[in-house]
Each structure stands twice: as structure tokens, then as C-alpha cells.
Amino acid sequence: MTDLLKYLLLTFLVVCAVSVARTRDLLAAVIIFTAYSLVMAIVWQLLASPDIAITEAAIGAGVTTLLLLAAISKTRRYE
């Protein structure tokens, strides 16, 4: 069961990473990247490193998203 969840999450990570690179809408890319970071935090937790999981959830999903949103609000949305 845990193996199934792990493979599901890893597949989701690969799909997210590919779609971040392929999407043309930068705002959508930022949101997909946030989902990537959240799933990555769960994967870190499954790999028994809660310290990195907290940091990934705070930095990857929180601060990076907000800074990229600020950058998009300064520039334009479409590539």
C-alpha cells in the first residue's frame, strides 16, 4: 500500500515537472510548481526526513510561489 502511494506520488512528480516545462501560461506554471513542491514534501516525509519536509513545504510551496507571483505581477503573464 505504501509502495503504491509512493509510486503514485513519484509519477505525479514526473508529470508535474514535464508540464511545468511545457506550459505557456506562466501563472499556471507557478501553480503546478507549487503542487510539485507539496508532493515533494510528502515524499520527503515518506523518506523519513521530516525536517526537509517542513523546509520544502515552507520554502518550495510558500516563499518561492509568492516570489514568483510577485515577479509575474511585475512582468507579463504569457510567455
Partner 1 sequence: MEDLIVRYVSRIVVPFVQLFGLYVVFHGHLSPGGGFSGGAIIGASMILYALSFNLAAGTKKVSHDLSLILESSGGLIYAGVGLAAIFLGANFLGNKVAGIPLGTPGNLFSSGTIMIITLGVGIKVASTMITLFYSLIEGEQKTDEHC
Given 4, 22, 24, 74, the residue binding partner 1 (CB under 8 A)? 74
User: Could you tell me the smallest distance in angstroms from the CB atom of residue 45 to partner 1?
Assistant: 10
Q: For residue 65, what are the contacts with CB-CB under 8 A and spacing of at least 6?
A: 30, 31, 33, 34, 37
Any contact of residue 11 with partner 1 (CB under 8 A)? no
What DSSP state is assigned to residue 79?
-
- Which residues ranging from 14 to 53 are in contact with partner 1 (CB under 8 A)? 27, 50-51, 53
| DSSP string for 12-40 | HHHHHHHHHHH-SBHHHHHHHHHHHHHHH
Minimum separation from the CB atom of position 65 to partner 1 (A): 9
Site of interaction with partner 1 (CB under 8 A) = 27, 50-51, 53-55, 58-59, 62-63, 66-67, 69-74, 77
